Structure 1
């Protein structure tokens, strides 16, 4: 019967292999090198069992004597000295200013008629000759001619045509336009051009400018421009169309 401390075949084979390896290292002169490596690894291990990494040395700052001080700044104004002029351009350089183009909004009707609406002009009254031309072409039927224009020249949907005609009819009769809206409507008694009859020979650009002022003062149009902007633009295009036609 085997004793309590007898090694198993596996353990005996393991010890024999270790012995052979040590003899092999000794024959090669590497036995002491292995022992030194083991000791060095043990010294690099901290108390938690983790290898320590060498700390990097922080770069030292240059001494104050090695830094060249910058010259002190001085103010010519505080010294009551005249300002020094430093030219930015060489002599003989010609500066050309680009001509600023007038801002316009180009609108085109369904039949190809184009009309530029100046966006930065608040007034453009007609001459007496232009007013006479329009009066002759209207023949006393301004609203009828305007409806024909919306039907034959600047074709729009039936709903949009009715909206434009309704607003222009109010202006032509002198009734004026008031923004009727439960949420955004204008204060009571606030009308655009109440008591003033508007016709095709009037200064439409000036009326558009007044309309913008009314919206800024009393409330913006939340109906996508169908309160004043679109009807007045259509009226301006109608005016220009008849002035440009022979």
Structure 2
């Protein structure tokens, strides 16, 4: 039974006209490559009577083209790729289908494609909260601090001999006076260390040079009341500085370790030792020159 204009609704007649135009365009493009496509197929579907009877199954091994998913098809130029939308003015509008991207395929995203990635293939945002990094390892317990000896061998020049003391006195005429050598010590340290370092060394050495002694005044780690290092004893570059370093270490062992990394006594005494050895070196060079 043929399909007549009276048996079709207005919507179906408009749809058939659009399909005729689409079929003509596909023929011009050479895309109408298989049977059963076009207006004749649509007319057959429109004219087929509705029936509740079960449709006969197709025999296996037939030569007809099997239906396949567009997602798995390698060809992207089949007639089914064009979607028809009815325009408001009776015209047709063609929408290019979006490319389908399989899960795990990032090639479309790299090419700038408009396909929607699946949840698994979607790249993670950098703003997403990351798993917290593992805590840093706990550092090992600090070993018992040892006295840091200067680069010059201390044992060879301590204590000073009478001749060595004579050389030191030749450069420090006021060495036996309280604080009489601080100016020369400052002139020696200024070009060698930073201003803050020099200020701290001179402050601690000044206490030793005037016999005031040094006490650890920390509120948490401070020494007990009345505990001083070399109180009422004037310390000068003529003294055995290596022995003084050992005594300072003993004071820390008895009253509490210096948590300032040696800035209390150890570092100032090392700078005084360097000053002492510098004077001896200058005296020996002067003696050889004469």
TM-score (norm 1): 0.51
What residue is the counterpart of 1:147 in the other structure? 186
Offset, 1:240: 0.4
Report the number of matched residues.
Answer: 132
Offset, 1:116: 1.4
What residue is the counterpart of 1:163 in the other structure? 200
What residue is the counterpart of 1:116 in the other structure? 152
Offset, 1:139: 2.3
Where 1:116 maps in the other structure, the secondary structure is coil
Where does structure 2 lack aligned partners over 5 or more consecutive residues? 1-146, 175-179
TM-score (norm 2): 0.43
**Higher percent of residues as helix:** 1
State which of 221, 225, 230 in structure 1 corresponds to 2:267: 230
Offset, 1:123: 9.1
Distance 1:162 1:117 in 2: 26
Offset, 1:177: 0.2
Distance 1:175 1:123 in 2: 27
What residue is the counterpart of 1:205 in the other structure? 242
Answer whether contact 2:149 2:270 (CA < 8 A) is retained. Answer: no
Return closer, same or farther for 1:178/1:132 CA change in 2, 3 Å cut-off: same
Return closer, same or farther for 1:123/1:244 CA change in 2, 3 Å cut-off: closer
Deviations 1:11-55 (A, max 9, x none): xxxxxxxxxxxxxxxxxxxxxxxxxxxxxxxxxxxxxxxxxxxxx
Are 1:129 and 2:168 matched, yes or no?
no
Offset, 1:124: 2.2
Return closer, same or farther for 1:123/1:221 CA change in 2, 3 Å cut-off: farther
Moved over 2 A (4+): 104-107, 121-124
Offset, 1:151: 1.1
State which of 191, 212, 215 in structure 2 corresponds to 1:178: 215
Are 1:241 and 2:268 matched, yes or no?
no
What residue is the counterpart of 1:220 in the other structure? 257
Where 2:152 maps in the other structure, the secondary structure is strand
Deviations 1:141-200 (A, max 9, x none): 411110001013xx1111111110000000000000000000000000000000000001
Return closer, same or farther for 1:122/1:172 CA change in 2, 3 Å cut-off: farther
Offset, 1:106: 7.5
Where does structure 1 lack aligned partners over 5 or more consecutive residues? 1-103, 108-114
Distance 1:159 1:130 in 2: 31
